[in-house]
Copies of this chain bind each other. A is one copy, B any other.
Amino acid sequence: MDWPITDIARLAGTTSRTLRHYGDRGLLEPSRVGANGYRYYDERALTRLQRILLLRDLGLGLPAIAEIIDRQADDAVALRDHLTRLHQEKQRLDRQIASVEATIEKLEGGEQLMAEDMFSGFDHTEYKEEVEERWGADAYAKSDAWWTSMSADEQKAWKARVSQLAADWSDAAKRGIDPSGDEARALVERQVAWLGSIPGTPRSSDYYVGLGEMYVADGRFAKNYGGLAGATFVRDALAAYYR
């Protein structure tokens, strides 16, 4: 007693293409194949199919399903294993959702987040108290959400870029090049590009020139750009660029 492929597909709520695919993958063979090549499935095959579909609906991949069914692996163990992956996936999703929400708020807040972002690129936790003091605990939390939503590699890449830029500035300052020369202009462009990669940063020249003043005024920035001389050089280069 068996039925042709479409009947079985209808009974199980799937398609004949899927059944053929399972046949190709060795996951579910027809119980009988006619002389004309037609596939027929019996009750046993249908039962097996139901199990396959059940496990598939739980999110398992075909190799994992084959493992469970053919090697008689323990369903509960395999499912618990799968559950762990589902939870991880969920956490990843949660982080991503938080990150997207934070970004949307940034975009809507406009300039409000600029200084906060300035800190984000550097050590980040180093300025926690000050950020909270100036812009509130909420601002720090948002910044933190954005930062922590990045993977370790991404954070590393980000920091690498920031420190590379800073090092180049410092080097240029030490070599005593012309702050209004071509090399300095190139550095300014990199600096602006970096700032521009952060959503919510204003694009006006006033902002960048003002930033240069801030680098000189605030010792912590000076430290990043090779001392006060470096910060001064950055300021001059920015000013020359936008003059």
Contact = CB atoms under 8 A, between A and B. Distances in A.
Contacts of A14: 157
A101 B75 contact: no
A47 interface: yes
B79 A86 contact: no
Interface string A9-49: 01111100000000000000000000000000001101100
Instruction: Pick the most buried of A87, A108, A150, A154: most chain B CB atoms within 10 A of its CB.
Output: A154
Contact of A161 (B13, B59, B90, B182): B13
A120 B99 CA distance: 40
A155 to B, nearest CB: 9
Given A160-B13, A186-B1, A189-B1, A99 B197 contact: no
- What DSSP secondary structure best describes chain A's contact surface? helix
Contact of A90 (B59, B97, B104, B154): B97
A13 B194 CA distance: 13
Interface residues of A, number: 58
Nearest to A74: B107
Interface in A149-199: 149-151, 153-154, 156-158, 160-161, 164, 182, 186, 189-190, 192-194, 196-197, 199
A197 B90 contact: no
A10 B160 contact: yes
Contacts of A1: 182, 186, 189
A137 interface: no
A13 B154 contact: yes
A154 to B, nearest CB: 6
